[in-house]
């Protein structure tokens, strides 16, 4: 578990409590948990006052939403002022991390990011949801939001009326040109490099030393000195290095990490889209393919990215056994399972699985025409990977 996950655990816990109370003892709370665990919740969308997602359940897809009140401008000003007075919070925000302070209203100027239970309401396209009562689908969305909050509060911040990026900019404006104080240390007494660079960027410049120029030999250069990386690039480099170090220490680093996988790792980061044009020039891979590979990397690391670019060659025997496993696992055996180009495809259902370089099968869904998009759920069992593709396909409409 990373430091970010630990620091945001109180926020996720507070949301779970408020969301549970808002369901008022409905049996949908437990049913929604099962749906969320089975991957029924598609991409979560956030807008002021609303969190929504498509939920796949019982061969149908419903549009569920959770409604919550926005914070006022005065509330955000109070929160930003409190964060600006906290050197640790300033360091985290400048390094594109959300500070743990935001999870505790007692340390955030009395402002609670999590709304009260009685202010949370539900809606859905199903009959129960149309009556504005909690249903299995809106409950599944609530559980998915809780899982999301263990790593990032962006969904909740956006629904309350301000994005994480806008909040960071608000705090930067308050501390611009001010000395944020002494460099904070973690609980174990260490100082993160990202804090060092981000805090130094906000310290006022030091007065120039009083030099006797008559006794100092002038410096000459044959070439102008190279400029160093900018503060934003330095913050991104530091955050990326820290994330890779944590993965190595936890034994979860994905392999293989070749040059192309490293490019996709950067693109899949929160600010990676800024480098998409440069990546396209460096790799000669079309923009649309790179975007699909970004999704593949997020779902399956380097192996997911490479499998999105092209299936890994497999022997006819391996492909045939996988096809038979998929065919036997289907309850309603409609459509034809075919083997084409090292991929196993159900054209009727619009789903496909591909073998990856790590021995797992990767699910894909038909996006538009003959374009396939990666889906979550890579697995060593081809039948299970095929079921993951079917779940993703139910939640993802076909683009024309």
Tens digits of residue pLDDT in 333-373: 666 889 888 899 988 888 999 999 888 999 999 887 778 99
Residue 257: pLDDT over 80: no
Residue 126: pLDDT over 90: yes
Could you tell me if 320 and 290 lie in one domain?
Answer: no
Q: Range of 304's domain?
A: 253-309
Confidence of residue 180 (pLDDT cuts 50, 70, 90): very low
Element (H, E) at 280: helix 276-283
**What value does the mean pLDDT of the chain take?**
79
Could you tell me if 264 and 368 lie in one domain?
Answer: no
Q: What are phi and psi of 22, to 5 degrees?
A: -65, -25
% pLDDT > 90, the chain: 25
Residue with the bigger pLDDT between 2 and 227: it is 227
Name the β-bridge partners of 355. Answer: 361
User: Final residue of a domain: which of 157, 174, 191?
Assistant: 174
C-alpha–C-alpha distance, residues 311 and 357, integer Å? 9
Tokens 């790590």, residue? 358
Q: Virtual CA dihedral for 330, 333, 339, 342, nearest 10 degrees?
A: -20
- What's residue 3's pLDDT? 39
- What's residue 2's pLDDT? 37
Tens digits of residue pLDDT in 58-69: 778 999 999 999
Residue 4: pLDDT over 50: no
- What's residue 207's pLDDT? 57
Does 236 reside within a domain? no
Report the range of poorest mean pLDDT among 183-197, 264-278, 372-386: 183-197
Does 297 reside within a domain? yes
Tokens of 354: 């591909």
Could you tell me if 361 and 261 lie in one domain?
Answer: no
Tens digits of residue pLDDT in 46-92: 999 999 999 998 778 999 999 999 988 888 888 888 888 777 777 77
Does 271 reside within a domain? yes
Q: How many domains does the chain have?
A: 3
Could you tell me if 127 and 272 lie in one domain?
Answer: no
- Asked whether the beta carbons of 66 and 146 are under 8 A apart, the reply is no
């Amino acid at each position: 578990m990373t430091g970010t996950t630990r620091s945001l655990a109180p926020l996720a816990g507070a949301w779970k409590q408020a969301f549970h109370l808002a369901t008022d003892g409905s049996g949908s709370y437990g049913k929604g948990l099962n749906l969320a665990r089975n991957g029924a919740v598609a991409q979560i969308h956030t807008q002021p006052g609303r969190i929504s997602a498509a939920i796949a359940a019982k061969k149908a897809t419903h549009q569920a939403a959770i409604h919550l009140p926005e914070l006022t401008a005065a509330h955000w000003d109070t929160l930003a002022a409190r964060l600006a007075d906290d050197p640790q919070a300033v360091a985290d925000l400048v390094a594109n991390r959300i500070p743990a302070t935001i999870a505790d209203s007692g340390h955030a100027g009395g402002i609670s990011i999590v709304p009260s239970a009685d202010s949370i309401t539900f809606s859905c396209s199903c009959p129960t949801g149309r009556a504005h009562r909690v249903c299995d689908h809106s409950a599944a969305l609530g559980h998915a939001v809780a899982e999301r909050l263990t790593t990032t509060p962006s969904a909740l911040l956006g629904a309350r009326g301000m994005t994480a990026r806008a909040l960071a900019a608000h705090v930067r404006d308050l501390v611009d040109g001010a000395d944020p104080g002494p460099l904070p240390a973690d609980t174990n007494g260490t100082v993160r490099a990202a804090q060092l660079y981000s805090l130094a960027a906000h310290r006022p410049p030091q007065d120039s030393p009083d030099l006797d120029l008559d006794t100092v030999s002038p410096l000459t250069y044959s070439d102008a000195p190279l400029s160093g990386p900018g503060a934003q690039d330095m913050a991104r480099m530091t955050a990326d290095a820290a994330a890779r170090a944590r993965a190595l220490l936890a034994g979860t680093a994905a392999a293989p990490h070749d040059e192309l996988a490293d490019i996709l790792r950067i693109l899949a980061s929160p600010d990676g889209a800024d480098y998409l044009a440069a990546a396209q020039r460096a790799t000669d891979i079309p923009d649309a393919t790179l975007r699909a590979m970004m999704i593949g990397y997020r779902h399956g690391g380097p192996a997911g990215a490479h499998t999105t670019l092209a299936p890994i060659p497999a022997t006819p025997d391996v492909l045939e056994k996988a096809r038979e496993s998929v065919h036997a696992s289907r309850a309603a055996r409609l459509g034809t399972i075919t083997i084409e180009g090292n991929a196993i495809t159900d054209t009727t259902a619009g789903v496909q699985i591909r073998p990856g370089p790590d021995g797992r099968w990767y699910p894909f869904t038909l996006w538009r025409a003959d374009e396939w998009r990666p889906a979550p759920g890579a697995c060593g069992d081809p039948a299970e990977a095929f079921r993951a593709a079917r779940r993703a396909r139910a939640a993802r409409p076909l683009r024309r």
